[in-house]
């Protein structure tokens, strides 16, 4: 696994191994292409961050900051190593929390972009979409999920291989609350 483009293109990332399903490089490249105009200067939230590949890819492509939320010990170890390797600890924050507990305590601190890659076998993607529809915490929420999964209405679904990414967007500033 590596950074695909931008400042750190080609840099290899640490991976935790074990029962982890990282976003494929092909899907990650398409995902970044789908939101490329939104990345420069963005405040990014990377939920279910794993190794941090999505957030680090966004930083490499010009995002201003990234907050990572992850609570798996093996993934946290890899994420810490990747942040240190790229020397981005001043532009990133790491929250060792369960995602929904983090969001419940977050308040109104809105982000420009939020990435989420919850376990395919859980209903966390659906729960996250419903939460965002009730209380948008980012201008754009994008959730990776199985191609066989359909998330709540209101998003735009893009399919690639066996995966899909559904994007939810705030249409105007009034919707931010």
The answer to whether 73 and 81 have CB atoms below 8 angstroms apart is no
DSSP one-letter string for 129-143: HHHHHHS--EEEEEE
The answer to whether 54 and 28 have CB atoms below 8 angstroms apart is yes
Dist. CA 114–CA 42, nearest whole Å: 10
- Report pLDDT digits (tens) over 72-125: 999 999 999 999 999 999 999 999 999 999 999 886 668 999 999 998 888 999
Going by their DSSP bridges, the two strands 65-70 and 111-116 should be labelled as unpaired
CATH code for the part of the protein at 25-176: 3.40.50.150
pLDDT confidence bin for 25, thresholds 50/70/90: confident
Mapped onto helix, strand or coil, the DSSP state of residue 120 is coil
Does residue 68 carry a pLDDT above 70? yes
List all residues 6 or more positions away from 126 whose beta carbon is below 8 Å from its beta carbon: 149, 151, 152
| Domain segments of the chain as ranges | 25-176
User: Residue 143's beta-bridge partner residues?
Assistant: 116, 166
The pLDDT value recorded for residue 151 is 95
The pLDDT value recorded for residue 19 is 58
Mean of per-residue pLDDT scores for the chain: 89
H-helix or E-strand spanning residue 167: strand 163-169
pLDDT confidence bin for 174, thresholds 50/70/90: very low
The pLDDT value recorded for residue 160 is 86
- Percentage of residues in the chain having pLDDT higher than 70: 92
Q: Phi/psi zone of residue 154: left (φ > 0), alpha (ψ -120 to 50 degrees), beta?
A: left
Dist. CA 100–CA 7, nearest whole Å: 32
List all residues 6 or more positions away from 152 whose beta carbon is below 8 Å from its beta carbon: 126, 129, 130, 133
Mapped onto helix, strand or coil, the DSSP state of residue 166 is strand
The pLDDT value recorded for residue 20 is 60
pTM of the model: 0.90
- Report pLDDT digits (tens) over 7-19: 888 888 888 765 5
Reading the block at residue 158, the tokens are 């893009």
């Amino acid at each position: 696994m590596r950074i695909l483009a931008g400042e750190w293109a080609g840099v290899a990332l640490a991976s935790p191994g074990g029962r982890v399903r990282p976003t494929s490089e092909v899907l990650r490249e398409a995902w970044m292409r789908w939101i490329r105009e939104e990345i420069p200067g963005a405040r990014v939230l990377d939920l279910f961050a794993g190794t941090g590949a999505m957030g680090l890819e966004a930083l490499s492509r010009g995002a201003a900051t990234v907050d990572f939320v992850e609570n798996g010990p093996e993934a946290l170890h890899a994420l810490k190593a990747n942040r240190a390797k790229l020397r981005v600890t001043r532009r990133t924050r790491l929250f060792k929390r369960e995602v929904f507990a983090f969001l419940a305590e977050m308040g109104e601190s809105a982000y420009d972009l939020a990435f989420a890659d919850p376990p395919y076998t859980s209903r966390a993607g659906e729960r996250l979409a419903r939460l965002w529809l009730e209380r948008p915490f980012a201008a754009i929420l994008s959730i990776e999920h199985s191609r066989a999964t359909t998330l709540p209405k209101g998003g735009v679904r893009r399919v690639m291989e066996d995966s899909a990414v559904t994007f939810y967007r705030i249409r105007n500033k009034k919707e931010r609350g």
